[in-house]
Amino acid sequence: MMSANSSDSVTSSEDMIGFAPAKINLGLFVTGKRSDGFHDLESVFWPVGWNDVLEVHRKDTPGLDLKITGLSIEGDATDNLVSRAYVLLQDRFGIGGVKAHLHKCIPMGAGLGGGSSDGTCMLKLLNLLFELGIDDIQGEALAAELGSDCPFFWKAHPAHVTGRGEHLAPWDFDFPEGMWIAIAHPGIHVSTREAFAGISPAPSGLDWGMLSAAPIANWSELLRNDFQPGIEHLHPRIAAVRNLLTKSGAVYSQMTGTGSACFGIFADEEAAQQACEAAREQGWPAFAVVANP
């Protein structure tokens, strides 16, 4: 097996396995409505090690055979981003048949980017499997054809994100040594349409350089998630998750993306794991990971 991040040469007969990470948003501002119907966003995407697992290998017959295990995916499995990534490269490069196995661990509709990460992971694995020679610039452009958040996952490095989510700039920041992130999910699926229904775009007014220099305990004075008030009004359980993280000792907590998962930043692993345990006692899946990727 080889990972999707491997730089070693590969042969066409090898299986490929990749780990598709989740992300959280350190702030999420909806700054304007675009003429193409989309919204302009501003955020920092931060990768976290809560991963889906994707395995691919060649088959002799044309097309994609996709098996999905783990958490269920709503809708038609032939129209998810993994399948669409295969179709994109099949149309563009004429690649052969593929068997794929996606094991879902990241909740859907949680604002963690799991579907976008899966689709981009598929692009990366097929690039290696078929030796297509796609570089980072081409890879991010192909990922953008799948969805707004997808280009971030090509490298999955912390990034300041603008536009629809396709414009990426490296964000040079490290959490203090020893800090952890706890993520809890209340089991609510928030659709994109539902999330944007209550949005009134406004400039962020944030100097992101100031954010990186500010104590994390002060981030609540600088950051906001424009989706959070409306989504928490519709789904009060999301506010309860965020409040639990805060009461458990989070230095900073927020809903991520369009919800419904919430994250808290903790001073150490013990505090983060205890917060996760408190969330699980409420029946909410939770995961803790070291803060720096």
CA distance 271 to 109: 26
CATH number (domain holding residue 247): 3.30.70.890
For the entire predicted model, the pTM comes to: 0.91
Indicate if 204 and 121 belong to the same structural domain.
Answer: no
C-alpha dist (Å) from residue 249 to 26, 182, 287 = 18, 11, 16
Known active-site residue 59: no
Which residue among the candidates 52, 118, 149, 226 is catalytic per the annotation?
Answer: 149
Has 99 been annotated as catalytic?
no
Domain tally for the chain?
2
Of 105, 139, 169, the position where a domain reaches its end is: 169
Residues 82 and 224 in one domain: no
Residues 6+ apart with CB under 8 A from 106: 20, 22, 50, 51, 52, 71, 112, 113, 114, 117
Q: What is the pLDDT along the chain (293 residues), one digit of tens a residue?
A: 444 443 333 333 468 999 999 999 999 999 998 888 788 999 999 999 999 999 999 999 999 999 999 998 877 767 899 999 999 999 999 999 999 999 999 998 899 999 999 999 999 999 999 999 999 999 999 999 999 899 999 999 999 999 988 899 999 999 999 999 999 999 998 887 888 887 889 999 899 888 889 999 999 999 999 999 999 999 999 999 999 999 999 999 999 999 899 999 999 999 999 999 999 999 999 999 999 99
pLDDT of 4: 47
Give the end of a domain, one of 147, 169, 191. 169
The domain in which residue 210 lies consists of: 175-290
Q: Which of 15, 23, 36, 52 is catalytic?
A: 23
Q: In this structure, what token pair is assigned to residue 75?
A: 């809708």
